[in-house]
Amino acid sequence: MKVSKPYILIATIIVIAGVIDFINANSVSKKGSDEAISVVPRMSSEQSGTKKEEKSKRYELAKEITTPDGYINTDGKAIAINSLIGKKVILIDFWTYSCINCQRTTPYLNAWYEKYKDKGFVIIGIHTPEFGFEKDYNNVKAAVEKFGIKFPVVLDNDYSTWTAYKNQYWPRKYLIDIDGYVVYDHIGEGQYEETEQKIQEALGERMAILGEDGTIDKAITKEIPVQGGPKSPETYFGATRNQFFGNGTRGVVGDQKSLIAPAKINPDTLYLSGDWNIANESAQNGSPNAGIVYKYNAKDVFFVSQADNEIVVEVLRDGEPLGSEAGADIVKNSDGKTFVKIKEARLYKIIQGDRSEAHIIEFRILKPGLEAFTFTFG
């Protein structure tokens, strides 16, 4: 059928108007200098069903939290992943509080939670302990408060949820979409921009499926650059993993007495002096004037330790007191000597330098009773 020109003109105007409305509804606008807002179009039930079917072929469904040992930031109530599916986008974060990599990830998690919690986003921290003291509810609660964590935390002391996800790393993040599929996961630190973009995509899909009006802020939380360079391996004191023990018997639980550090020490090798009791997870000095020596290559040095009663440990680097590289837990006395005071079970920040370098760190332990778990380097 032939259509006269006036009708063509009217139809053209209507089409153009419709296109303009569509573009306006789906455009990215600027908020301030670098923040963009995206308006999410609604998704039909048919589109939602098709997309869900496609996801079932690509992704696995999220596993439930199993046999939790306690909850923090939940007002004493249990929290279950299945109760959130169909309502929320969920980020599962496996962590443990003495892990420096986890600690460096926490500011990003806190920022994302505050930014998106009103958009249907929830983070659940699954605290799976590396060491026995990290099973203690009060220890974990104190760490949650110290790190400013506001999102729910679940204690996974028996590794049941960890095992359900076949996880092997701290930290590790799993992003669960509104349909309950694990659509993204990331091991370790870094890739914060990519992770946040995936969160935004999942939240946009959630709003479209639920037919919610609103916007998703497309601005990305600024990533703090981490300097690279050589880094010594994490070095454990306990018999289960003390393969870098240089002057004692490796892999054996029990007393090792009168240890002496050699004059010449090898890199990335742990040397003890004095009497020590080696347990599965840790080593504890049984004599006064005991020592620890380690030749490392790194920018930062961290020490996981505890003591029943406060123990003051003198710390030297290359035979000298620490200077500007002294970590946050180092104190200096009037004589210029540098010390760390060990009591509560946690990670102590010993050296926080400017660049990765090779040095010898030495601990002089005046009293017995210091329990050492690991050196970690950054």
Same domain, 198 and 244: no
Q: How far is CA 196 from CA 63, 68, 166, 202, in A?
A: 22, 27, 23, 10
Asked whether residue 4 is assigned to any structural domain, the reply reads no
Same domain, 350 and 262: yes
Asked whether residue 17 is assigned to any structural domain, the reply reads no
Give strand pairing partners of 347: 304
Asked whether residue 11 is assigned to any structural domain, the reply reads no
Among 234, 241, 233, CA closest to 281: 241
Which of 217, 250, 277 lies at the terminal end of a domain, its last residue?
Answer: 217
Same domain, 211 and 78: yes
Same domain, 244 and 317: yes
Same domain, 155 and 257: no
- Tens digits of residue pLDDT in 218-244: 888 888 777 667 899 999 999 999 999
Print the domain residue range for 325.
Answer: 235-377
Q: Residue 335's CB: how many other CB atoms inside 10 A?
A: 6
- Tens digits of residue pLDDT in 110-144: 999 999 999 999 999 999 999 999 999 999 999 99
Rounded to two decimals, the pTM is: 0.86
- Tens digits of residue pLDDT in 283-325: 999 999 999 999 999 999 999 999 999 999 999 999 999 999 9
The amino acid present at 34, given as its one-letter code, is D
Asked whether residue 224 is assigned to any structural domain, the reply reads no
Cis peptide before 171 (omega within 30 of 0): yes
> How many angstroms separate the CA atoms of 300 and 347, rounded?
13
The amino acid present at 98, given as its one-letter code, is S
Same domain, 179 and 269: no
Same domain, 334 and 259: yes
Structure token pair of residue 187 = 């091991």
> How many angstroms separate the CA atoms of 47 and 304, rounded?
51
The domain spanning residue 178 has which CATH number?
3.40.30.10
